[in-house]
A = this chain, B = another copy of it.
Amino acid sequence: MNTRRNERVSPHTTRKVRKLADGREIMYYDSDLDSSIDSDDRNASDRRVLVDAPAHTELRRDPLLDEWVVVAGHRQARTFHPPTNECPLCPSTAEQLTEIPESGYEVVVFENRFPSLTMHEIKDLDVPDIFPGFGRCEVVCFTSDHNSSLANVSPARMRTILSAWMDRDRSLSEIEGVEYVFIFENRGVEVGVTLSHPHGQIYAYPFIPPRDKQMRAVATDYTHETGRSLYQDVIDNEIDSQERIVFDGEHWVGFVPQAARWPFEIQLFTRRHISHVSDLNEAEQEEFAHAYPLLLKSLDAVLDVEMPYIAAWHQAPVGCSDQESRLFLEIFTLRRAQGKLKYLAGSESAAWVWVNDIAPEHAANEIRAAAKRISS
């Protein structure tokens, strides 16, 4: 049994690492600033008898596109919309043993029980272009309150979540073979979320994802041609025009991109160029902790209905701190109107040409107006 003491991972946050019944790691992040939990001992044991989930996944190279696809057959059996009293992300009770042995927690991270990528060492397969699905998939629970959401956490809690994200970024980057740490949140049944408890995920990929690889290539070409930073020019253009700005802070600037693909889409950049979420300084963290929940609340207020969204940190590949990548948080919604979702149909899914039914300037107006409504 792991009985390491709490380690300090940020000025206000400690981490305690323990093991679940099937050997998976679980990490409790607790804040000195968050007085909602009395005890930070985190010594509760996982009393479940867990059968090892079949975790054989594969990475297969699509020869026509030269991209990796994860084939994870076993995930068909993953937990699917359990009733609230069986939520595996709630703290454990006498009646219900969950993924989190403690009776309460602030922020907790554990290895996904149904992972797309695993650390398991499997010998190379015979077939060319098919490899073991190396990597690591983690679940990040933002709060023990089943009915809350990231939009509704306190700034203090948001700081703890940031500390956890930053710690995971550092830790996963140290694993040999991991090339990219992808931190994201899916919110809403409309995005296919099968557990409603407020949580995000982290995928440690053994390659640079196609989206981020392409951004690096485009940024490199741009710098070769102009001598300037693509990201900085995009940010400067948005600040100059002001049309699509939705957050204008001291350390962060957020805007609806000029060529937004999704109904309500925001890119949130730090004003200074940094590469990784773990590079965020104290002031950036503090502003973000207030700004981000407000932005999410604004999105919920736009159509007066909880927004299904995807939020993802784009950062540089592990070990890179060049100008070709730059940290930003991307948030986009899948709802375009009350009762109407944005679907990816033939143009998007088969040709990769997005059709957006909402003008980005209109979306920015709506988000700004919603922010005003909720703050008045």
Contacts and interface: CB of A to CB of B under 8 A. Distances in A.
A353 B191 CA distance: 16
Interface stretch (A65-73, A157-165, A284-292): A65-73
B259 A357 contact: no
A244 B311 CA distance: 36
Interface stretch (A34-42, A43-51, A100-108, A182-190): A182-190
A203 B258 contact: no
A354 interface: yes
A242 interface: no
A227 B185 CA distance: 44
Interface string A83-121: 000000000000000000000000000000000100000
Interface stretch (A17-25, A148-156, A335-343): A335-343
A344 B347 CA distance: 15
Interface residues of A, number: 78
Interface stretch (A208-216, A246-254, A275-283, A296-304): A208-216
Contact of A346 (B67, B186, B230, B351): B186
A310 interface: yes
Given A116-B347, A312-B351, A340-B80, A260 B64 contact: no
A60 interface: yes
Contacts of A305: none
A11 interface: no
A111 B314 CA distance: 40
A181 B257 CA distance: 28
B350 A184 contact: yes
B234 A116 contact: no
A349 interface: yes
Contacts of A258: 60, 62-63, 127, 129-130
5 contacts: A63-B230, A65-B211, A73-B362, A310-B346, A344-B349
Interface of A: 60-73, 75-76, 80, 116, 127, 129-130, 182, 184-186, 191-193, 201, 203, 205, 209-212, 214-215, 218-219, 221, 230-231, 233-234, 257-261, 310-312, 314, 330, 332, 336-337, 340-347, 349-360, 362
Given A69-B261, A76-B336, A314-B350, 8 more contacts: A69-B259, A70-B354, A192-B343, A203-B346, A312-B350, A312-B351, A330-B350, A344-B349
